[in-house]
C-alpha cells in the first residue's frame, strides 16, 4: 500500500437533474480548498457514468487528525450545508482503511 493508515471515503450524492450543474459549481470550491489542506492525499468529485444525477466525492486523508481539521475547516462548514440542500436524499458515505 502507498499510504499506510490512510482513510478513504466514497460519498455518493443523488441529485435532481436540475441541481446537478449548480452542485458541481458549488463543489468546485470545496474540492480546490480540500486538495490544498495538509493531510489530504486526494479529493475529487466525479459523476457516475451510468447515472449522471449521482455524483461521488472520492477522498483520501493521511489520518483521523487530518479529517478532523477538514471537517472543522471554514470552507467545509460553509459549503457542505449548501450542497446537502441540493441533494434528493441523504448522502451515502463509505469508509475504507489502508493497511
Can you say how many angstroms the Cα of residue 46 is from the centroid of all Cα atoms in its chain?
A: 10
Rounded alpha-carbon distances, angstroms, from residue 54 to 12, 14, 35, 64, 86 = 7, 5, 22, 27, 12
pLDDT at 1 over 70: no
Task: For domain 7-97, give the CATH number.
Answer: 3.30.70.100
Computed over every residue of the chain, the mean pLDDT equals 95
Q: What residue segments make up the domains of the chain, in order of their start?
A: 7-97
- Give per-residue pLDDT as tens, 21-61: 999 999 999 999 999 999 999 999 999 999 999 999 999 99
pTM given for the model: 0.92
Amino acid at each position: 500500500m502507498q499510504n499506510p493508515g490512510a482513510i478513504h471515503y466514497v460519498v455518493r450524492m443523488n441529485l435532481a437533474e436540475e441541481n446537478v450543474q449548480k452542485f458541481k459549481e458549488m463543489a468546485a470550491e470545496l474540492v480546490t480548498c480540500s486538495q490544498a489542506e495538509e493531510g489530504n492525499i486526494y479529493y475529487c468529485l466525479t459523476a457516475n457514468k451510468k447515472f449522471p444525477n449521482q455524483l461521488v466525492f472520492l477522498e483520501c486523508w493521511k489520518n483521523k487528525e487530518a479529517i478532523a481539521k477538514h471537517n472543522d475547516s471554514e470552507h467545509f462548514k460553509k459549503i457542505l450545508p449548501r450542497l446537502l440542500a441540493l441533494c434528493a436524499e441523504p448522502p451515502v458515505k463509505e469508509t475504507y482503511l489502508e493497511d
